[in-house]
Amino acid sequence: MFTMVNIVVTVALQLVVRSQVPYLVYSLAVIVPTLAVTVRRLHDTAHSAWWLLIGVVPIVGQVVLFAFLVSRGEDGANQFGQDPRAAAAR
């Protein structure tokens, strides 16, 4: 949900506002939350946050990171904590 809202706001700022200043301010404001959400998603799929750095590798790294982020998380607890879906089901 965070990513969807982030994309909608970014596209709206790019299309509606002619200046780049609001887009840059928004981008700087959400960089830390974006990193936090991405790390949490990697942890859900039982990958270390260090895998975020694979996105620096052109094309292949970005495809691998995307595959990790869209894959289904592990059922049950893993080394990073409890399954958030199991907690939400209670």
Residue 41 belongs to what domain range?
Answer: 2-89
Residue 39 CA from chain centroid, whole number = 7
Q: Is the pLDDT reported for residue 52 higher than 90?
A: yes
Q: Percentage of the chain with pLDDT > 90?
A: 64
* pLDDT of the residue at 57: 94
Q: Report d(CA 42, CA 50) in Å as an integer.
A: 9
Kindly report, residue by residue over 10-35, the tens digit of the pLDDT: 999 989 988 899 999 999 999 999 99
Residue 82 CA from chain centroid, whole number = 19
Number of domains in the chain: 1
Where does residue 66 rank: exposed (0-12), middle (13-18), buried (19+ CB within 10 A)? Answer: exposed
For residues 21 and 79, the model is more confident at: 21
